[in-house]
Each structure stands twice: as structure tokens, then as C-alpha cells.
Amino acid sequence: MIVVLRLGHRLGRDSRISTHVGLVARAFGADGIIYSGEKDQKMMESVKKITEEWGGPFEVEYEKNWRRVINNFNGIKIHLTMYGIPVQEKIEDVRKKSNGKDLMIIVGGEKVPGEVYDMVDYNIAITNQPHSEVAALALFLHEYFEGEELERNFEKPRIRVIPQERGKKIKKIKK
């Protein structure tokens, strides 16, 4: 199981970016996301609706106390931060150590509390330059799965894209 913990969601400011963290987590192979910070039911429902329409499984939860989430997680904990060790230097080690274990990937919103760096097994950077937590999550999951997540099939979708060179074509699937 792979779960993403999104730290520090702020109402009115982070809805779009937090939604995108959830969408990327789902599309790139995570099994669920836990949001902390301010509770935003509308944002969470948006991610749940995508899962209902496009397939799952994918869980969406809220937990105010992110420290408890990290402390109670039994598995490998990874914090994505520009201050960490480059992903290309650590990804093989992460794959080996996580074999058969659950994985928690932590991404920040507002300034990440310094204690997070000591609560995790890995502080991993997707470059040491300022960038988006959405991009960092996508690239980390892509590296972790070695590209296999791009071939993933989702269970019970109501909509499926029919790939084509030009235009948009979807197939609605009857229940």
C-alpha cells in the first residue's frame, strides 16, 4: 500500500493544488491520500468524484493531527523536499527496503515543520530547486514504479479515454 500525506492544506488557498496532489497520487499508483491542515470537504469530494468516474480503488481521508499519522504509520516514510538527497541516488534503496512494506510519501503545503525531517526514513529531493509538490510526487512515483504505473488499469471506471492522435474521444461504461 502506498499512501500520500499532504501537509498543511489551507482553505481558499490550496484547494486546486491539493486536488492535483490527490489526482496525481491516484493516477501514478498510490492507493490513497490523507490531507492535514484545514479540513476542506469540497476538495476531498472532488478527488472522490474523479475516482468514482475514472475508476479506483483510491481512498481520500482527512486527519488534523499529521504527527499522529506519521508516528502511527508502520512502513517506510518518505518526505519529498528540495533539501533532501537526490532521488536518483536513493530510489533503488527505497525500492529494496520497501519490498513488501507499506510506503508513506509526505508532501508539504505551507512551510513544513522541521521535525518532519527527523520523523521519516528518507528525505528525498526531486532536484534541489524550488518546484511544485505535484511535480515532485509525480516524478517520485514514476521513478519508484519504473514507469509501470503508466500502464495501470483502474477498476470499475465509468469513463475511459480512447487514445488517438487528435481530438478527444471517451467511452462511457455502463454500470
Distance CA 109, CA 36 (A): 10
Number of folded domains that form the chain = 1
Helices marked H in the chain: 15-27, 41-54, 66-72, 87-98, 116-119, 133-145
Helix (H, G, I), strand (E, B) or coil at 158: coil
pTM of this structure? 0.94
What letter would DSSP give residue 111? P
Asked whether residue 110 carries a pLDDT value surpassing 80, the answer given is no
Angle subtended by helix axes 41-54 and 15-27, to nearest 10? 30
CA atoms within 13 A on the CB side of 70: 22
In this predicted model, what pLDDT tens digit does every residue of 119-171 receive, in sequence order? 999 999 999 999 899 999 999 999 999 999 999 999 999 999 999 999 999 99
What pLDDT is attached to residue 100? 87
Give me the mean pLDDT over the 33-54 stretch. 95
Among 64, 56, 61, 63, which Cα is nearest to 45's? 61
The separation between CA 32 and the C-alpha centre of its own chain, rounded to angstroms, equals 7
What pLDDT is attached to residue 34? 98
Q: What's the CATH code of the domain at 117?
A: 3.40.1280.10
Of the pLDDT bands very low, low, confident and very high (cuts 50, 70, 90), residue 104 is very high
Where in the sequence is the domain holding 76, given as residue range(s)? 2-172
Distance CA 32, CA 1 (A): 8
Helix (H) or strand (E) holding 7, with range, is strand 2-9
What pLDDT is attached to residue 142? 98
Look up residue 131 and give its three cell numbers.
518546484
